[in-house]
């Protein structure tokens, strides 16, 4: 499976303005050829994510970053106690926060395998393995710090990225990739599952590459295209399936994923 190499950062501005009003994702900027940041709003009352937010912390993943976070927290608490407490409590988080969703086109994938975890050896579970997805993007942290300075807020990031080196991603891609044949993927260029009738996959799992931006519109376009091939219920015998042994036309596949 692939991700957009994401990092959730942001700026919280306690009591200054209502950041929850407006379009959910209204703008974006490229920091370089690989890095894209979108400004994201959450509707008022959506404060649960605030429980996972903490003060922005730099450094490399590992114990060093955790110690740096502890130092950042206590320094902020001693210098600006009221401001720090207001920044970290979850109540009113959506009204006071501007989320900066950072994504990169750099390839990042998660290999999933069945294995027996050390804490429960009696049963195999699906677990990730291999190289971790990056949880620290220096360009993104620098952008959040500058944005906080300009609008008078406090830069924030995710607790999971700092304490556990676990990325917080909402866009998992791949797993059922679109391909010319069952030897290379799971669905054809009309989202039909190889080897089955009337079975379609229409989500992010059919996208086999890291787009580097929010994939929602791409997923919607692929789904709309797949649905355009389905005949009305009164006119079909519901036996739609990829042709046996046929290879999907490469130009059609390219058009479907463009």
pLDDT at 127: 82
Q: Is the dihedral of CA 225, 35, 69, 43 positive or negative?
A: negative
pLDDT at 231: 82
pLDDT at 151: 86
DSSP result, 142-172: HHHHHHHHHHT-EEEEEHHHHHS-----S-E
**For the chain, how long is the longest CA-to-CA vector?**
72
The one catalytic residue among 36, 89, 109, 171:
171
Write out pLDDT tens, residues 60-115: 777 888 999 999 999 999 988 988 888 888 898 989 999 998 888 887 777 888 88
pLDDT at 252: 47
**Which parts of the chain have pLDDT scores under 70?**
16, 236, 244-258
For the chain, the domains span: 2-163, 171-258
pLDDT at 118: 83
Length of the chain (residues): 258
Q: Which residue blocks in the chain are alpha helix, DSSP H? A: 63-79, 81-88, 93-96, 138-151, 159-163, 216-228, 250-257
pLDDT at 224: 95
CA distance 200 to 241: 9
**Residue 14 CA to chain centroid, in angstroms?**
26
pLDDT at 203: 92
Catalytic (active site) residue 171: yes
Write out pLDDT tens, residues 215-231: 888 999 999 999 998 88
Topology (CATH) of 171-258: FAD/NAD(P)-binding domain (3.50.50)
Q: Closest by alpha carbon to 149, among 40, 4, 11?
A: 11
Q: Closest by alpha carbon to 112, among 166, 185, 172, 175?
A: 175
């Amino acid at each position: 499976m692939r991700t957009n190499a994401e990092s959730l950062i942001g700026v919280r501005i306690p009591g200054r303005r209502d950041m929850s009003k407006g379009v959910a994702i209204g703008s974006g900027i490229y920091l370089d050829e690989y890095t894209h940041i979108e400004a994201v709003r959450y509707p008022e009352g959506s404060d649960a994510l605030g429980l996972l937010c903490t003060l922005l912390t730099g450094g490399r993943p590992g114990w060093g970053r955790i110690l740096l976070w502890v130092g950042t927290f206590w320094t902020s608490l001693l210098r600006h106690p009221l401001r720090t407490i207001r920044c970290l409590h979850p109540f009113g988080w959506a009204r006071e926060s501007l989320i900066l969703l950072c994504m990169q086109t750099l390839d990042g994938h998660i290999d999933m395998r069945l294995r027996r975890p050390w804490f429960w050896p009696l049963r195999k579970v699906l677990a990730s393995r291999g190289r971790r997805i990056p949880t620290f993007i220096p360009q993104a942290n620098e952008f959040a710090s500058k944005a906080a300075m300009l609008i008078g807020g406090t830069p924030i990031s995710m607790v999971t990225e700092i304490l556990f080196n676990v990325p917080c991603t909402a866009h998992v891609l791949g797993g059922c990739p679109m391909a010319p044949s069952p030897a290379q993927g799971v669905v054809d260029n009309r989202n039909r599952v190889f080897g089955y009738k009337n079975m379609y996959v229409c989500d992010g799992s059919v996208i086999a590459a890291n787009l580097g931006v929010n994939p929602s519109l791409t997923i919607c376009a692929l789904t709309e295209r797949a649905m355009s091939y389905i005949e009305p219920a009164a006119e079909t015998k519901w036996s739609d399936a990829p042709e046996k042994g046929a290879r999907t036309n490469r130009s059609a596949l390219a058009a479907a994923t463009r």
